[in-house]
Amino acid sequence: MLFVMAYRAGILGGSGYTGAELLRLCAAHPELEVVHVTAETNAGAEIGEVYPALRPAYGTTRYAPYAPDDLTGLDVVFSALPHGASQLLAPDLVGRVGHLVDLAADFRLPADTYRRWYGEPHAAPELLGEFAYGLVELYRDALAARRHVAVPGCYPTAVSLALAPLLAEGLVEPRGIVANAVSGVSGAGRALRTTSLFSEANENVSAYGLLTHRHTAEMEQALSRVARQPVEVLFTPHLVPITRGILATCYARPASPGLSSARLLEHYRDFYAQDPCVVVVDEPSGTRADLRRERRPRHRAVRHPHRDGAGDRGRGQPREGRRGPGDPGVQRAARPAGDDRAAAARGRPVSVTAVRGFVAGGIASGIKPSGAPDLAIVATEDRAAVAAAGVFTTNLVQAAPVQVSRAHLRDGRAAAVVLNSGNANAATGAAGRADARRMCDLTAEGLGVRAEDVLVCSTGLIGIPMPMAPVESGIPALCGALSASGGSDAARAIMTTDTVPKEATARAGAATLGAMAKGAAMLSPAMATMLAVVVTDAEVPAPRLQRALATAVSSTFDCLCVDGARSTNDSVLVLAGGRAGPVDAHAFTDALTEVCGSLAEQMARDAEGATKFVRVTVTGARSDADARLAARAVAGSQLVQCSLNGSDPYWGRVLSELGASGAHLDPERVAIAYNGITVCRDGVACAHDADALAREMAGREITIACDLGVAHGTATVLTTDLSHAYVDENRRTS
């Protein structure tokens, strides 16, 4: 079974400046597919006719007139309509769509405040409580509690983000704040206005809405929530002769003397450390604030941004190249199944105990009848609870350990993880939950910590009660045997059908990350695809740790598909001890992505019965979401996997899966290559070196590169072949 994660989206008012910018952003979004766009005056026209730079992303898609029935069932609808229009349509839309995102001012303020500043009563006051204020950097948690989103205004976003870190910590006075801002002429929209004429705006600066601008109420509301007391802002906007961009300069009185620039910069960096859209710049004195450094050309041809040194997250595995069909590329040396892949870093620890402040161990307690190791513990050396985060299976049938660990992680703290293999403790009801809690209690007693600070993981057979006798004796014995060299023992103790332990390390500045995982089957791109524990000596607050883990998982484990099955027990846990102190947030996320990527690749290489390690790379898609749809369809196809097992470059099956994936494509523009040898061009067979291709297909590592030739969306999914050995392994309970 193949699981996809693209959201079907609609856009209202897609031919205005706001709608066009939204179309550009959605085209580059890895999980959105725009399927319906409305316009009034441009209804019937192709998007590419109105905005030629968007043609590569949207092809012949046309604007449609507004009809509510056309939007029914969409996952999300963005309203880019003028102010006042959304509140008239929302009563009919909120019951039809999953989420309504309003980009106007219609749902940002309470009804009384709205009437005072906008001079008219709200048309749908009963819906105001259903919208969350969408300033993500400040109200991320509130967004999760609401179905619909009111996108903040442009000026309030600039001013609120500038002042929030200071007001949140009481570093400045909440009254007497002055905000001056300049912006470009496109903010007024495409309608003809005297103030937007070139002859009026050129070589001119004009102030407007002096101390009466409607965005003032929004600023004061947002900042008062952050400061937890009333905030007053004196705001004056200015129109300057540029197309787009905002520069806000804010003034506030320090709440106490001695507030240095160095302290301010440190505070800003810490406040926004995990927010990639906010960049805190520490520049030499005298450097100008320059809008040209951040402003991008309006409606340029769609492409995807890349941050130097960060890898291409969301598009492929760490350290993977960007080869297209026909590019030769160099393949890694093939390894036989079952070799010691963890020994790539011989001579240094590569597991959880490579990190200062953590101990681990693994033993054979008797859970497995074979007598193989089956019980592991990873714990902080001083037994202190530290910041922790977790991502768990999306399967609605969740094992007892998953349920217990979720509950224990509510406070974002943990001191230990206890894991067993040989029994999943899944589909075991209340008794199973009691057994999972008992494992936490035993670990807590043995280590001298709170039971709520212990997380629990199990892997093995589903539907069989946990054999508690070996657990009751094994956990106390293991608690007394933990050591700073026990990481590899722990990694071996969580193996089931794995042939080798899976371990990885990475660095983030002065900090180290160490990880272990198990996984050889039930691997599918729908989180989490496996059991893993990552520890680090970096100091990372729990909320940032959770966001970093979600980011890492999305481009690693979520891009792994061996058999399309999601386990009941999948869990990825991270504990941050803090001994190395704070590290750069982006560097930490990159390092976490690196270890997760390494573990994902190790799992694919060790998949049950696999004789091929395969990367399915799709380029040239309409969006990253389309690319993922296409790559997952190919990677999860049993027919493709069978032909790989036979070393048969049967590209017809690949093309067929691309066409059935739901991704937008023109079959006569598709190219397909195996290990850089193109076998299909423009949707038909093409001449190639058959002997060279046969040699490539006989190897263990294969890259199937598919260029859809539509736009710029890319994605890579890891998979394997489907062998007789896989069937033999899974034709019985295992």
* DSSP assigned state of 334: P
Cα 560 to Cα 563: distance, rounded to the nearest angstrom: 9
Q: How many CA atoms lie within 13 A of 604 on its CB side?
A: 31
- Backbone dihedral region of 292: left (phi > 0), alpha (psi from -120 to 50 degrees) or beta? alpha
- DSSP result, 447-464: HTS-GGGEEEEEEEESSS
Q: Which two tokens stand for residue 639?
A: 């027919």
Alpha carbon of residue 298 to chain centroid: 27
Query: Do residues 74 and 97 make contact, with C-beta atoms less than 8 angstroms apart?
Result: yes
Active-site option among 505, 512, 529, 536: 529
CA distances from residue 580 to 386, 403, 407, 513, 610 in whole angstroms, order as listed: 13, 32, 28, 11, 40
Q: Strands of 462-530 (E only): list them.
A: 502-508, 511-518
Rounded Cα gap, residues 359 and 12, in angstroms: 55
Whole-angstrom CA distances from 601 to 58, 341, 402, 715 are 34, 10, 24, 15
**Tokens at residue 566, please?**
């999601």
Taking the C-alpha atoms of residue 445 and residue 437, their distance in angstroms, rounded to an integer, is 12
Q: Look up 589 and say whether it is catalytic.
A: no
Tokens 């049938």 identify what position?
397
CB 417 within 8 A of CB 457: yes
Beta strands in 41-176 (DSSP E): 76-79, 99-102, 131-133, 148-150
CB 486 within 8 A of CB 411: no
b/e code 499-525 from CB counts within 10 Å (16+ = b): ebbbbbbbebeebbbbbbbbbbbbbbb
Contact 720, 607 (CB under 8 A): yes
Residues contacting residue 198 through CB under 8 Å, at least 6 positions apart: none
The beta strands (E) that lie in 397-452 are given as: 413-414, 416-423
Contact 597, 558 (CB under 8 A): no
Bridge partners for 11 per DSSP: 37, 78
Residues annotated as catalytic (active site), given as ranges: 529
